[in-house]
Amino acid sequence: MSKLREAFSVKRGDMSFSNHLRKLAQPIWDAQLKHPFVIALGDGTLPERKFKFYILQDARFLADLSRVFAAGAVKAPDSDSALRFAKLAEETITVERSLHESYGTRWKMSAEQMTAVPMAPTNYAYTRHMLSVAQAGSAAEMTVVALPCAWIYCVVGRHLLKKGPPPKHHPYRDWLLLYASPEFAEVQEWMRQKVDRWAKTAGTEEKRRMEESFVISSRYEWMFWEMAWNEESWPV
């Protein structure tokens, strides 16, 4: 924790608060792009078994992420933000889940069967982290705890497609196209605008909590790839 504390005292200068957060977490973000799961997802060599494990865990993850956005609709200080969070709660289910369900069809699994899979430890811990911040924190804190989730996927999607769109036969083409899409990028852009605006009036303690939960969510994003790569299970 001491390294993190040190990082928190970094001077921000003119940098936006969201860019400051990203700078704090940059080593963790860089590590994601080098994670074997991410590399294999991009080049199509990821064993389907590991991808299936990931998608089934992610289906459970998205159900809780939608609840986090719903908490944002309750906490937002203005009705436009409340409306957007309510829309994000809905879209998390309709857009991302429809991608999952298309894989479910491939594996002959219904939506109910997919969401009945027990959460692996890392998934459970990450979603509890997000839900607790969304419940106890301000609108700014709620937005920050979910920001790595929207922003990192956009960075990963674009990184994996930097040499161009995936070939037609790429097994994970739909996943790559969704997360590299401008529509998906727009979500993190909107969330960053909110964070930057609300951080201007946030107190020192609130900003410190935002820094901490952004770094923790970033770590959990890395751990989610690791969880899927190792097909993590409860030890006892």
Ligand X SMILES: Cc1ncc(CN)c(N)n1
Token pair 């899927």 is found at 228
Is 54 in contact with 37 (CB distance < 8 Å)?
yes
Is 64 a binder of ligand X (CB under 6 A)? Answer: no
Measured from the CB of residue 200, what is the shortest distance to ligand X in angstroms? Answer: 26
Of 212 and 221, the one with the shorter C-beta distance to ligand X is 221
DSSP for 79-133? HHHHHHHHHHHHHIIIIIHHHHHHHHHHTT--HHHHHTSPPPHHHHHHHHHHHHH
Binding region for ligand X (CB under 6 A) out of 26-34, 42-50, 58-66, 226-234? 58-66
Is 229 a binder of ligand X (CB under 6 A)? Answer: no
Q: Contacting ligand X (CB under 6 A), which of 41, 109, 130, 149?
A: 149
Measured from the CB of residue 140, what is the shortest distance to ligand X in angstroms? Answer: 19
Is 191 in contact with 147 (CB distance < 8 Å)?
yes
Torsions phi, psi for 167 (to 5 deg): -65, 160
Per-residue binder mask for ligand X (CB under 6 A), 88-117, x = binder: --------x---------------------
Is 33 in contact with 159 (CB distance < 8 Å)?
yes
Cα-based angle 169, 171, 175 (whole degrees, multiple of 5): 115
Binding-site size, ligand X (CB under 6 A):
9
Catalytic annotation, residues:
149, 221
Chain contacts with ligand X (rule: CB under 6 A) = 58, 61-62, 96, 149-150, 153, 221, 224
